[in-house]
Structure 1
């Protein structure tokens, strides 16, 4: 999937259908002068429904679909015939989609399961026909209920990626390079900050045909939780990852400081993110000689409050051990 085709935020105006009018028809036949009321009920207006689809990874198919309108219910007719229901409008969305009220920004629903359906705009109820109002004192009611109007809503759809591992790091830390090496994903890679402007997903093929999903989130910078830079737009994508992989380059001035800044950004955005398992990968470690790596190991053992591993995406060093460690972290509950 190309970067331009990844859409994780759309606004849509949805309108459900109006309910059909009930009929006020009076039964008439050749030899029946006063047959009484036989007006049927109006049909229900069509719903606007969101349905989870596990085969979708983006909201791109809704990028240019700003208005969604369901069909109106048909009116009731004679012989107590109920009008047809209006046609429902079904919008398929990827798993991990959050539905918000555009005006209040309140979360209305979340879709996390394949086939899960949520009615975001309920069709109007059809009106009752006049035969419902017949009584001993009113044998021939000449009135029926009108249909109830449908609903109109402005909703915002946000996608929170459902991946197993979320890659977290500063711009140009090597996240896209790592993803391109351990998965079949082909993210844009270049030697400047903010190369990744959209999240990239990749499937890691592990031993015995087992797999897990890694999401490369655009690099965050200090202050992202307050809206600085572009990273705050993508912090929501790591809310559903079960494991966070922090990527810090070996040539960073202070590895511990960079790690603490990243952790602090996550804490300020959502403290619950700190409950997730964490692993620090020291990237670009092929530039370290044995002596320097031993010195860094001693320092990290003393200062870094998290497990870490040395890797090099370019030199293909430590990647098998990285996959082993991530798989172990993702499946630790099963092995207990």
Structure 2
């Protein structure tokens, strides 16, 4: 089954929490803090694998997550780092942000290994918070949460030459003739229902890759017929074989077919339309009047393209085309499709903005304190409910502007404040 587009969610591993423990040994009355740090969360990586040619492996599994880091423990024991997650994709896969459509990774090189998401940092144990003033800290740092993002994987085949043309003009027959590809052939439209790659070998270390996509029809760039679903597969190619049936046995006009296909390429992508084209006038063996070919040749050459008369069935003219193609390809560089966006910036843009402090008066007369600053401190530290820990927690928020926010909200001396299920009286 050929699957070239899927939507999945990937998440880096969370960092492990630091430990808030104390040394407890016989004959040692005042053991100090000995909590170890948490382990790092696993990374998410993408690898371009030559053994995979479709995204079918992602059809049923939609969530991919790296392993979380282990928590720290007593006696300065560090948590274990989480295992990295390696996601193998076909060469030519693009990873896009699902929400914005921005390109995050373009896996267009065989064996390419890219880090996509970094794992969350492990939290410090309480030993790291010990100083000359705080001799026995009862708090530890929470591990950072691993980033999570919903992405769209799009496969764009990596070929040197792409075959375009109306259905039944001989594209599948040509790729079968010149390579080991086994495209289905038949005397009816849309014989090819999925893209296929073939390797054309001219000799030792002399070869190029050709892609056969389903036939185009008028309106394909808007999705008519098999449409733009397959046009993206030829965006990476260096040049195009534009095959036209010059025999007219189906009542078609070769010039009109040529113009309409090029119009669809232009509407889909100017870059695609401007690629080098070789025009292959196929089915010359069925053409009894050479005037028709000469008229078509004159039009194509006036349009700036070179034309080759061929017969795929008889094999006439194909060798010349292949040799000329190999020579041309040596001087054509593969163009980058688009620039990659910074994934950290994309994730940051998607996060909802929250006010630093959100203070709400409840029916019981309490003032609940929430907001980005509270979330930040709670996300960063493991707060125990002992007096020292609570005092430290409140001092952190005070330094971040809590006191001023309470005054602006109308909190008076003696009112009860509640933050993260901890209640205390406000004293000016």
TM over 0.5: yes
Give the corresponding residue for 1:184.
180
Q: Secondary structure at the match of 2:271?
A: helix
CA distance 1:35–1:116, shift in 2 (3 Å): farther
**Candidates 153, 156, 165, aligned match of 1:157:** 153
Give the corresponding residue for 1:258.
257
Give the corresponding residue for 1:243.
239
1:85-234 superposed matches below 5 A: 85-234=81-230
The offset of 1:216, in angstroms, is 0.2
Q: Residue deviations 1:156-187, cap 9 Å, x none? A: 11111110000011112111111111111111
Q: Residue deviations 1:134-171, cap 9 Å, x none? A: 11110110110112223332211111111000001111
Q: Secondary structure at the match of 2:141?
A: coil
Once residues 249 and 275 of structure 1 are traced to their aligned partners in structure 2, the CA distance between those partners, rounded to angstroms, is 22
Contact residue 121 and residue 153 of structure 1 kept, 8 A = no
Gaps of at least 5 residues in structure 1 are: none
Contact residue 176 and residue 196 of structure 1 kept, 8 A = yes
Once residues 157 and 165 of structure 1 are traced to their aligned partners in structure 2, the CA distance between those partners, rounded to angstroms, is 23
Once residues 332 and 69 of structure 1 are traced to their aligned partners in structure 2, the CA distance between those partners, rounded to angstroms, is 43
Q: Secondary structure at the match of 1:158?
A: strand
Bigger Cα displacement from structure 2, 71-80 vs 118-127: 118-127
Are 1:267 and 2:266 an aligned pair?
Answer: yes
CA distance 1:300–1:250, shift in 2 (3 Å): closer
Q: Residue deviations 1:249-294, cap 9 Å, x none? A: 12243222211211111111110113321101111111124xx33x
Q: Secondary structure at the match of 2:106?
A: strand
Give the corresponding residue for 2:41.
45
Once residues 190 and 257 of structure 1 are traced to their aligned partners in structure 2, the CA distance between those partners, rounded to angstroms, is 23
The number of equivalent residue pairs is 327
Give the corresponding residue for 1:276.
275
Select the structure with the greater relative contact order (CA < 8 A; seq sep ≥ 6).
1
Give the corresponding residue for 1:16.
12
Are 1:36 and 2:32 an aligned pair?
Answer: yes
Gaps of at least 5 residues in structure 2 are: 334-428
Bigger Cα displacement from structure 2, 73-82 vs 137-146: 73-82
Contact residue 246 and residue 293 of structure 2 kept, 8 A = no
TM-score using structure 1 length: 0.91
Once residues 259 and 123 of structure 1 are traced to their aligned partners in structure 2, the CA distance between those partners, rounded to angstroms, is 52
1:308-323 superposed matches below 5 A: 308-323=307-322
Once residues 258 and 314 of structure 2 are traced to their aligned partners in structure 1, the CA distance between those partners, rounded to angstroms, is 23
Once residues 187 and 297 of structure 2 are traced to their aligned partners in structure 1, the CA distance between those partners, rounded to angstroms, is 30
Once residues 37 and 115 of structure 1 are traced to their aligned partners in structure 2, the CA distance between those partners, rounded to angstroms, is 47
Q: Secondary structure at the match of 1:234?
A: helix
Q: Secondary structure at the match of 2:8?
A: strand
TM-score using structure 2 length: 0.73
Bigger Cα displacement from structure 2, 25-34 vs 318-327: 25-34
Q: Secondary structure at the match of 1:153?
A: strand
Q: Secondary structure at the match of 1:206?
A: strand
The offset of 1:303, in angstroms, is 1.3
Q: Residue deviations 1:33-64, cap 9 Å, x none? A: 22311211111122222112233322233333
For the aligned residue pairs, the C-alpha RMSD in angstroms reads 1.8
